[in-house]
């Protein structure tokens, strides 16, 4: 169940492939799994379903789902930035596993804030996808996160031994504890490099917050692509920080 070293090294590429397939949903051409029309994305389909069942009027349904998307986008961005501030964006983006335990910031409450942030972020993107693509993305990204977590846990247990196992026994894997489970080690947060490292996440969150009220899923999808482009450019230009 654990990810291989190759899967870890290419994890960003694999995430990108999953998202592209989810937005494209190529299986729909043969299986006709999704409805057609300008509002055939999850945002529109769920809004129509809520209105049809008399739960909300169509406008309120669109607003409710948009607010959920905004919350998911900002929560994902916040978790990843908080984690990156203490772990270091260079380590976050590196293709190698690093033998070390960070016991500061979010890592006092859960062991995998970065993976949890990515998974929550996926729910925001899912609103813009066809139904089958959204289901595929959530399942595929969820499985990928679990495989990566198991791979890292095995690597850290083998590299660090008892200190890591003691930390692992105290701090939850994915469900955050409200109360910190370990004492802080005193490592300072590096917020500037963390925000730069997660600029894609913040671009998506800002797009949902500001462009979402245009109620145009195509526009939001374009904003996601622009955020990705800015992120790739920023990563290419900034020095590698560990």
The residue segments making up the domain with residue 212 are: 5-182+192-237
Per-residue pLDDT of the chain (242 residues; tens, 9 = 90+): 899 999 999 999 999 999 999 999 999 999 999 999 989 999 999 999 999 999 999 999 999 999 999 999 999 999 999 999 999 999 999 999 998 889 999 999 999 999 999 999 999 999 999 999 999 999 999 999 999 999 999 999 999 999 999 999 999 999 999 999 999 989 899 999 999 999 999 999 999 999 999 999 999 999 999 999 999 999 888 765 44
In-domain check, residue 116? yes
In-domain check, residue 196? yes
Greatest pairwise CA separation for the chain in angstroms: 57
- Give dist(CA 153, CA 161) in Å, integer: 11
Q: Is the Cβ–Cβ distance between 69 and 127 less than 8 Å?
A: yes
Count of domains for the chain: 1
Does the reported pTM lie above 0.85? yes
In-domain check, residue 242? no
In-domain check, residue 96? yes
pLDDT, residue 99, reads: 87
In-domain check, residue 125? yes
Q: Is the Cβ–Cβ distance between 90 and 240 less than 8 Å?
A: yes
In-domain check, residue 187? no
Task: Collapse the DSSP code of 189 into the 3-class scheme (helix H, G, I; strand E, B; otherwise coil) and give the result.
Answer: coil
- Of 206, 45, 11, which Cα lies nearest the Cα of 126? 45
Q: What is the CATH number of the domain that holds 10?
A: 1.20.120
- Give dist(CA 153, CA 157) in Å, integer: 6
């Amino acid at each position: 169940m654990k990810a291989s070293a190759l899967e870890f090294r290419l994890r960003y590429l694999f995430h990108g492939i999953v998202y592209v397939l989810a937005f494209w949903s190529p299986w729909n051409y043969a299986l006709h799994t999704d409805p057609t029309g300008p509002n055939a994305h999850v945002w529109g389909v769920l809004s129509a379903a809520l209105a049809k069942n008399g739960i909300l009027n169509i406008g309120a349904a669109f607003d409710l789902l948009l607010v959920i998307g905004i919350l998911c986008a900002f929560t994902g961005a916040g978790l990843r930035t908080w984690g990156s501030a203490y772990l270091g964006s260079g380590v976050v983006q590196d293709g190698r596993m690093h033998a070390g335990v960070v016991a500061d910031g979010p890592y006092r409450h859960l062991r995998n804030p970065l993976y949890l942030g990515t998974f929550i972020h996926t729910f925001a993107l899912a609103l813009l996808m066809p139904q089958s693509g959204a289901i595929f993305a959530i399942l595929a990204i969820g499985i990928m996160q679990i495989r990566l977590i198991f791979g890292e846990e095995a690597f850290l247990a083998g590299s660090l031994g008892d200190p890591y196992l003691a930390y692992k026994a105290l701090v939850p894997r994915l469900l955050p504890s409200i109360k910190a489970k370990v004492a802080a080690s005193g490592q300072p947060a590096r917020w500037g490099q963390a925000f730069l490292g997660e600029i894609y996440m913040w671009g998506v969150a800002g797009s949902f917050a500001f462009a979402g009220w245009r109620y145009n899923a195509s526009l939001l999808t374009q904003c996601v692509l622009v955020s990705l482009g800015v992120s790739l450019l920023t990563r290419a230009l900034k020095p590698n920080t560990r």
